[in-house]
Every structure is written in C-alpha cells, then in structure tokens.
C-alpha cells in the first residue's frame, strides 16, 4: 500500500467491545486519530458507537462516518477491524473483496482465520496471534500461504509472496 496520505481506509468498529456504544478505552481512540493525522481518508463504520466517536473527532474531508460496512469498504485501499462485532464476522468476504480497491485487511480482533482470508484473496494482517510458521520453505511454484513473525500474521492470496 505504500504511504498513507490520500489512501482510503475502511475502519470497522469504534466501540471497545461488540454490542455496545461505549468507546471508553477503545482501540479506535488511538488508531483513528493516528491514521487521520497521517493523511489517510477514513471511512468509519460501527453498528452502534459511531456517533460517540464523531463527537470527539468531527467529520471532515478525510474523516467520513458511514451508515454501512459496504459504504466503508467501497474502493478502499485497506480495511482495519477494531471491534469484533458479529455483523463483521458474517459479512460476505467475496463481496467485501470485490468492492475494495486493494483487498488488504488489518484484523486487530482476529475475527477470521488466515487460511479463510487467503482463500478469499485477501492480503491479511492478523494482530496478536503469536509466532508460528505453517510452511518453512514453499515448494517451487506453490502458492505462499501464511507466514507469521512476531505478533503479526501475513496472508496473501493469488500466488503472492510476502517478505516479512
């Protein structure tokens, strides 16, 4: 993805947990201002808590609050998941990927399994899953599946390789 200025980033979830509009201590309180400050164009969606974040961070030409997940991901360069709402878990991943400009997902809640995201064609960064390697050396001509280092899991679909 390169640099952030003028990249469209969909943000799913501003509440600190699903099924609430409470944003106290939510990851969104740090992530949204940092991405905004870096010049990204944010499209923020949460089923219940959007209005509370909007009061703290009013909308502007780079911070847009939307009414649906579909509106958030349309033409996005990446998707950042910050709350583990069931509505996000049950989205049609094929449709989400087809709507995005580049199918990159940074999953801060581990909603999805890396293999599932690879199959759906996403470049997938899963935070906090720990150290693991599924395949130490890919077979020549084989698709790269999943590599993990530190606490980030990286998955790319469609015969891509990721140096991490």
Q: Quick one: pLDDT at residue 156?
A: 53
Q: What's the pLDDT tens digit per position in 107-130? A: 999 999 999 999 999 999 998 876
Which H or E run includes 148?
strand 146-149
Number of CB atoms found within 10 A of residue 141's CB: 6
Q: How far is CA 159 from CA 34, 51, 120, 139, 145, in A?
A: 32, 41, 13, 12, 8
Domain segments of the chain: what residues? 8-111, 120-164
Q: Quick one: pLDDT at residue 51?
A: 94
Q: Quick one: pLDDT at residue 130?
A: 62
Q: To which residue do tokens 């998941």 refer?
A: 81
Q: Measured between alpha carbons, how far is 153 from 6 in angstroms, rounded to an integer?
A: 26
What's the CATH code, domain 8-111? 3.40.50.720
Average pLDDT over residues 24-49: 96
Task: Using the Cα atoms of residue 30, residue 36, residue 39 and residue 43 in order, give the sign of their dihedral.
Answer: positive
Instruction: Residue 132: name the closest of 98, 109, 155, 159 by CA.
Output: 155
Q: Measured between alpha carbons, how far is 69 from 45 in angstroms, rounded to an integer?
A: 6
Average pLDDT over residues 18-36: 96
Q: To which residue do tokens 């720990």 refer?
A: 130
Strand 146-149 versus strand 123-127 pairing type: unpaired
The residue that leads in pLDDT, 137 or 22, is 22
The residue that leads in pLDDT, 160 or 10, is 10
C-beta of residue 81 within 8 angstroms of C-beta of residue 46: no
């Amino acid at each position: 993805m390169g640099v952030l200025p003028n990249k469209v980033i969909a943000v799913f979830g501003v509440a600190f947990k699903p099924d609430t509009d409470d944003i106290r201590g939510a990851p969104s309180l740090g992530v949204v201002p940092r991405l905004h400050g870096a010049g990204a164009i944010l499209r923020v969606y949460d089923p219940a808590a959007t209005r509370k974040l909007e009061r703290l961070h009013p909308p502007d030409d780079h911070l847009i609050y939307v009414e649906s997940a579909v509106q958030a991901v349309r033409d996005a360069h990446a998707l950042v998941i910050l709350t583990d709402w069931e509505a996000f878990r049950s989205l049609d991943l094929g449709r989400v990927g087809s709507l995005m400009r580049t199918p990159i997902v940074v999953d801060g809640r581990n909603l999805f399994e890396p293999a599932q995201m690879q199959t759906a064609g996403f470049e997938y960064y899963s935070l906090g899953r720990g150290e693991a390697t599924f395949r130490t050396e890919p077979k020549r001509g084989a698709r790269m599946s999943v590599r993990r280092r530190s606490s980030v899991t990286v998955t790319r679909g469609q015969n891509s390789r990721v140096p991490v």
